[in-house]
Amino acid sequence: MKRKRPSKRQKAAAGAQAEEHGAGASQHHRVATVVKQYCILENDVEVTLTNEAMRVEQWVSAHMAESFGLDVEWKPTFKRGARENPVALLQLSTLRHCLLIQMQRMATIPEGLRRLLAAPEVALSGVGVREDLRKLARDYGLECDGAVELAVLAGEVLGRPELRQAGLRALSMAVLRKDWVKNKRVTMSNWEQDLDQKQVTYAATDAWVSHAVHQALQRHRGGRGEGAAELSVGGTRRTRKGGEGKVKVVGGEDGALELEFAREVERRQIDVNPHGAFLRERRRLSGQDKSPQGRGAEVEDLCDKLPQKGQGEAVGDLRVVLTDRKRTGTSAEA
């Protein structure tokens, strides 16, 4: 929508205001980075809030992945016909780390960020993410590719056409069995100001949930071949590629945690997120003893968090079964 051309008096007033703002810009828009741990849907996430190009470059280099949850925020306009404000905050998230970039306070746009957004092999997932990327292109000239519309993906993968119009909160409930309250006041707040704790939590949660939903949907539809990790919680089967061997995760009975080990499996780490619960399993198996301990099994941090009864779908604890491709090995309860 076109904006009305300002009068000479309005131009003069705007110029004076710009000079006044510029005089205090170095103090108000000081270069700053804040790194802090946040709990997002019962998961510990390191959140980096910054307006420093160098810190953005470092974060992108350290956390380069095949996919990120993405969202943007900008200051709302309340006058009819007023021009939309540019993006103030860009959010990128993996399962353990989230980056919040104060775009309007950046001296330059980092080349690493440009490359990440333009890379077609990097999935950028979110709700309404295509429009978010178009807005980044309009506001900052950023070429963006790799958009993944979560609502469309969820409708296809889960066979539920009604989800094609769902928002992020509804997708979180449908895919992760996790709900949270989206504060409308925070949604419509001033994203150009120094952000408070509520704004940081809100922004990080949106990007993190987008990534978590995308990862869960990918597991649901992918990797059913040899060496896949099969995840089944509450009757919902998800799979993902897991190298040698298989890991099956199903709803446990009476809170039992059961392990079936392959005879020889290389040590590696598998992260899964059934119903928002992280399970981290590391193992190194060798020898001929039938017991996991005798065969040199090392199981560390097996369950960081298990779904609690009464939270989301009542699936109880998890039962974990690890077998090799030939389904050889023994069973033991841990």
| Domain-ending residue, one of 221, 248, 274 | 221
Q: Between 225 and 174, where is the model more confident?
A: 174
Q: Does 21 reside within a domain?
A: no
Give the rounded percent of residues in the chain with a pLDDT score beyond 70: 57
Q: Does 20 reside within a domain?
A: no
Residues 233 and 217 in one domain: no
Residues 185 and 323 in one domain: no
| Domain-ending residue, one of 221, 250, 276 | 221
The enclosing domain of 162 has a CATH number of: 3.30.420.10
Mean pLDDT (whole number) for 190-207? 97
Nearest to 133 by CA among 90, 101, 78, 188: 90
Residues 111 and 246 in one domain: no
The pLDDT value recorded for residue 5 is: 45
Q: Between 240 and 189, where is the model more confident?
A: 189
The pLDDT value recorded for residue 140 is: 96
Q: Is the per-residue pLDDT at 204 higher than 90?
A: yes
The pLDDT value recorded for residue 205 is: 97
Mean pLDDT (whole number) for 18-44? 69
Cβ-defined contacts of 152-155 (< 8 Å, 24+):
153/125, 153/214, 153/217, 154/213, 154/217
Q: Is the per-residue pLDDT at 257 higher than 90?
A: no
Question: Token digits for 174?
Answer: 């449908």
Q: Residue 124: CB partners within 8 Å, gap ≥ 6?
A: 67, 68, 70, 117, 133, 144, 146, 147, 148
The pLDDT value recorded for residue 247 is: 38
* Model pLDDT for residues 164-175, shown as the tens digit of each residue: 999 999 999 999
Per the CB < 8 A criterion, the answer to whether 116 and 144 are in contact is no
* Model pLDDT for residues 72-118, shown as the tens digit of each residue: 999 999 888 889 999 999 999 999 999 999 999 999 999 999 999 99
Q: Mean pLDDT: which of 62-71, 128-137, 180-189, 289-298 is highest?
A: 128-137
| Domain-ending residue, one of 154, 189, 221 | 221
Q: Does 5 reside within a domain?
A: no
Give the rounded percent of residues in the chain with a pLDDT score beyond 90: 50
The pLDDT value recorded for residue 181 is: 87
Please give the mean pLDDT across all residues of the chain: 69
Q: Does 239 reside within a domain?
A: yes
Nearest to 269 by CA among 300, 297, 294: 300
* Model pLDDT for residues 274-323, shown as the tens digit of each residue: 333 333 333 333 334 434 443 333 333 333 333 333 333 323 333 333 33
- Residue 177 backbone dihedrals phi, psi, to 5 degrees: 60, 35
Question: Token digits for 27?
Answer: 């103090």
Count of structural domains within the chain: 2
Q: Is the per-residue pLDDT at 1 higher than 80?
A: no
Residues 147 and 184 in one domain: yes
The pLDDT value recorded for residue 29 is: 64
Residues 212 and 254 in one domain: no
Chain center to CA of 298: 29
The pLDDT value recorded for residue 28 is: 53
Q: Does 209 reside within a domain?
A: yes
Residues 156 and 232 in one domain: no
Mean pLDDT (whole number) for 121-133? 96
The strands making up 43-50's β-sheet, listed across from edge to edge, are 33-40, 43-50, 97-102, 87-93, 67-74, 123-126, 147-149
Q: Does 3 reside within a domain?
A: no
Q: Residue 196: CB partners within 8 Å, gap ≥ 6?
A: none
Give the sign of the dihedral formed by CA 166, CA 168, CA 174, CA 180: negative
Residues 54 and 185 in one domain: yes
The pLDDT value recorded for residue 27 is: 42
Residues 55 and 171 in one domain: yes
Q: Is the per-residue pLDDT at 328 higher than 50?
A: no
CA dist 57 and 217 (Å) reads 29
Confidence class for position 228, pLDDT limits 50, 70, 90: very low
Residues 206 and 305 in one domain: no
- Residue 42 backbone dihedrals phi, psi, to 5 degrees: 70, 20
Per the CB < 8 A criterion, the answer to whether 300 and 282 are in contact is yes
Residues 170 and 312 in one domain: no
- Residue 253: give the domain boundaries: 228-333
Q: Does 4 reside within a domain?
A: no
Residues 57 and 170 in one domain: yes
Q: Does 168 reside within a domain?
A: yes
Residues 109 and 65 in one domain: yes
Mean pLDDT (whole number) for 45-72? 94
